[in-house]
Amino acid sequence: MGRVIGPYGVAGWIKVFPYTEHIDGLLDYPKWWLGRGDGNWRGFKVAGSEVHGNVLTALLEQYEDRTEAMRLKGLEVAIPRSQLPVLSKSGKDGYYWSDLIGLEVVNLQGEELGKVAGLLETGANDVLQVQSLEDGEGERLIPFIDQVIVKVDLKARRITVDWGADY
């Protein structure tokens, strides 16, 4: 749902880059789970939070100074899926941004374009950040719109796009 990018101020607050569709999406949850994605997650009660531009600031109950908050830098922020809202009444054709991270992206010609590293909200439409498989450093930005996204297959862990490899 997000990543801790560092401390904020001197009173134990942290800055969080959210992966949610809306910047304030995490503010609905009074408890966050922090960890590195290795299964070792720890729950923290959120004592305060605010939106600052494109990041969140939050005060976790156990942290009272900048030094303590600095130790959280780089940790991922998670919410148990059971606490998230249901995506659709039918339960089909729905996914969270976090479901898309790591999926392989291929075009209609079968060319592998990379893996989804993140998503951006631009106002007009969302954008997939696709990291190149070749060198791991190149990034391709692909609009997440119906005209480009042909199919999202969560089971196969693949997104098919109408997008040229040379775009």
Mean per-residue pLDDT, 94-122: 89
Q: What pLDDT is recorded for position 93?
A: 59
Tell me what the mean pLDDT of segment 33-62 comes to: 90
DSSP codes of every residue in 81-140: GGGSPPS-SSS-S---HHHHTT-EEEETT--EEEEEEEEEE-SS-EEEEEE-TTTS--EE
The predicted model gives 5-33 an average pLDDT of: 90
Q: What is the pLDDT of residue 92?
A: 53
Q: Is 118 exposed, middle or buried (0-12, 13-18, 19+ CB in 10 A)?
A: middle
- The residue-averaged pLDDT of 12-41 equals 88
Instruction: Identify residue 102 by its one-letter amino acid code.
Output: G
**pTM: predicted TM-score of the whole model, two decimal places:** 0.62
Band of the pLDDT at 90, cuts 50, 70, 90? very low
The per-residue pLDDT for 106 is 97
Whether 123 has a pLDDT exceeding 90, the answer reads: no
Confidence of residue 130 (pLDDT cuts 50, 70, 90): very high
Compute, in degrees rounded to 10, the torsion defined by CA atoms 124, 18, 22, 52. -90
Q: Give the separation between CA 163 and CA 157, rounded to whole angstroms.
A: 18
Which domains, and CATH codes, for the chain? 2-81 (2.40.30.60), 97-161 (2.30.30.240)
Question: How many Cβ atoms from other residues are within 10 Å of residue 33's Cβ?
Answer: 16
d(CA 162, CA 167): 11
Which string of b and e fits 121-160 if b means at least 16 CB within 10 Å?
beeeebbbbbbeeeeeeeebebbbeeebbeebeeeeeebb
Work out the percent of the chain whose per-residue pLDDT is above 70.
93
Nearest to 19 by CA among 81, 125, 99, 104: 99
